[in-house]
Amino acid sequence: MLQHADGHDTVVEAAAAGRTAEGEIVLEETDENGSVSRLHTFRAGTVTAVFLRRPLDGGRHGWFPQPADGTWWCC
């Protein structure tokens, strides 16, 4: 889930997400052959928060915030 600077939220299905050294948020997918392609790039400052959906104890899912600064990559 992405929280945008203009106040709206977007839920996006992607194989991976990352934050570059320049502060851009990138979303990528992987096809059945293992080829990676970029779904979307959000300019620095247009996304205020990124959350990864992961399983919680007991099988339910929850949203986990990703770091607001620095570089990171999650799948």
pLDDT band, very low/low/confident/very high, at 75 (cuts 50, 70, 90): confident
pLDDT for res 62: 95
pLDDT tens digits, one per residue of 3-26: 999 999 999 999 999 999 999 999
Burial 40-70 (b: 16+ CB within 10 A, else e): eebeeeebeebbeeeeeeeeeeeeeebeeee
